[in-house]
A and B are shown apart, each in its own frame.
Chain A
Amino acid sequence: MLKLIKLELERNNLKSYIIGGCLITLSILGLVYLFAAIPHIDPSDPDVGIFLTYNGISALALIILAACFTILASVMYNKLVIAEYTSKKIYLLFSYPIKKERILAAKLITVFAFTVISAIISGIVIFSVFFLSEGLFQLCEDTLTIQVILRVAILLLLSAVISAALATISLWFGYWKKSATVTMVVGVIIASVFGSIASEIFLAQGRMQLVFVSIITIVTVFLAIFLIMRVSKQIKNTDV
């Protein structure tokens, strides 16, 4: 399996996705500073409370991060899976003496792992820069404790998994409709729906926050497994 993943990486140029990941990181970093600056720009606004705490700012940043990486993962699923199985490239894939499921699994693992790893790296960069600069020049009213950092780390891990898992919805739609456009549009819709639902959950208070986010992670992972199994079965039985 490792060899198949290596071959996927060799023949699919991941450079554009890495650039995409970097752009997401920079944009979110910019947003984080914007959020933190809002209370200083207009302290009279009653809704600015959320921007004064590390919990509030990190929750918002993570939601946007998860939404962006969901779209990035959808684009990757389109390139590595949908485009290959719905075009003449399938002749090539199916001429190798390797079980069809194994080749597909290698592709899915590649996208999943790439999404999770790049989302985590992106989050680490964003929060390291922000928290370090807070040490030099504090914008939030909170105190930065180990607990805060730990909570952000756990939420980042879960958000990364959620992104990769949610994008399988675009994979399923895109494969079903055999269309790159459908994949992208569904990716964007999921990202925005997720963004609005998640804002309630990520901003929940105290211990409930981690519990809720863990629940969404588990639900999306199960959904992803279900959708992947369906797509896998269809691909295995394609007549080309």
Chain B
Amino acid sequence: MPSELAIQTHGLYKSFGTKEVLHNCSLSVKQGEIYGFLGVNGAGKTTMFKLLTGLLTPTAGTIQILGEDITTQRESILKRMGSLIEVPVFYEHLSARKNLEIHLSYMGMENNFSKIDETLDKVGLKGAGTQPVSEYSLGMKQRLAIARAMIHKPTLLILDEPMNGLDPVGIHEIRELFRSLVQEFHVTILFSSHILSEVEQIAETIGIISNGRIVNQISLHDLKKDPSFNLEEYFISVTDRGC
């Protein structure tokens, strides 16, 4: 039976050689929520996402995704997950449409080819599907990466800085897109971002990582009950404490 939690890690450690990057991390993301993951540069956000998507193997600890263990059930989990890690990579000489077709084929979802136009439309790439990705701008690539992460109808999205390089309209569109994914399809979204105003607007829960330790996981809704609450001040005070 799938648990209530979409993501749950226990006592997670990750070291590169002698360098410890994650220390005893326990992350819990509820199903159907939008979770914002915050931390200064080099805090360990990308490393955490790579562990969650099975790109890295933990030094110690366990990772449960959608009720299954990522180290043993990797393929089954990846089928239900959409991800974007660091900078988006594509087959640059091919068109956006072809990139998505190839992605869907690898996902075993060839019957979703018909959804390509609709998905490109949703991320603001209407009419750009036939262009080779090498001719895309940074923000267009970012949009295409988001389209790719969601086109196979995953129940969990793990997005590393998805708003990176997006214009204000793009950020607004993606925000609406996230909300509709959660409302219509009960998708869980875990994302990292440095744009605190953005996080404040769409995340329900935030987790803050500092020096490889998760120093706080809290409902943003609860925090906002305090009328004087300011996420930036809060973030700085919490990460300072972690140092």
Contact = CB atoms under 8 A, between A and B. Distances in A.
A3 to B, nearest CB: 7
B56 interface: yes
A150 interface: no
A98 B75 contact: yes
Contact of B78 (A10, A13, A89, A96): A96
A94 B54 contact: yes
A153 B89 CA distance: 44
A99 interface: yes
Interface in B24-83: 50, 53-57, 74-79, 83
Interface string A201-240: 0000000000000000000000000000000000000011
Interface residues of B, number: 28
Contacts of B53: 94-95
Interface in A131-189: none
Most chain B CB within a 10 A radius of its CB, from A7, A94, A97? A97
A237 to B, nearest CB: 8
B185 interface: no
A108 B131 CA distance: 30
A11 B55 contact: no
A89 B106 contact: no
B54 A99 contact: no
B56 A98 contact: no
A87 B92 CA distance: 14
Given A7-B106, A96-B107, A13 B86 contact: no
A240 B102 contact: no
A88 B85 CA distance: 10
A33 interface: no
Most chain B beta carbons < 10 A, residue from A13, A90, A96: A96
Given A11-B94, A88-B87, A99-B75, A240 B106 contact: no
A58 to B, nearest CB: 39
B55 A91 contact: yes
B105 interface: yes
Q: Is the interface of A mostly helix, strand, loop or mixed?
A: loop
Contacts of A99: 75
B150 to A, nearest CB: 13
A41 B175 CA distance: 79
B179 to A, nearest CB: 24
A95 B55 CA distance: 8
A87 B76 CA distance: 25
Contact of B55 (A7, A89, A240): A240
Contacts of B98: 10-11
Contacts of B85: 91, 95
B234 interface: no
A7 B54 CA distance: 23
A62 B236 CA distance: 70
A1 interface: no
Interface in A4-31: 7, 10-11, 13
Given A7-B102, A10-B102, A11-B102, A97 B89 contact: no
A26 B28 CA distance: 64
B86 to A, nearest CB: 7
Contact of B108 (A88, A89, A97): A97
Contacts of A10: 98, 102
A95 B83 contact: yes
A2 interface: no
Interface of A: 3, 7, 10-11, 13, 87-92, 94-99, 239-240
24 contacts: A7-B106, A10-B98, A11-B91, A11-B98, A11-B102, A13-B93, A90-B55, A91-B86, A91-B89, A92-B90, A95-B55, A95-B83, A95-B85, A96-B106, A96-B107, A97-B74, A97-B75, A97-B78, A97-B106, A97-B107, A99-B75, A239-B55, A239-B56, A240-B55
Interface of B: 16, 50, 53-57, 74-79, 83, 85-87, 89-91, 93-94, 98, 102, 105-108
3 tightest A-B CB contacts, nearest first: A97-B78, A97-B79, A96-B106
Given A87-B89, A98-B75, 16 more contacts: A3-B105, A7-B106, A88-B89, A90-B55, A91-B85, A91-B89, A94-B54, A95-B55, A95-B85, A97-B76, A99-B75, A239-B16, A239-B57, A240-B50, A240-B55, A240-B56
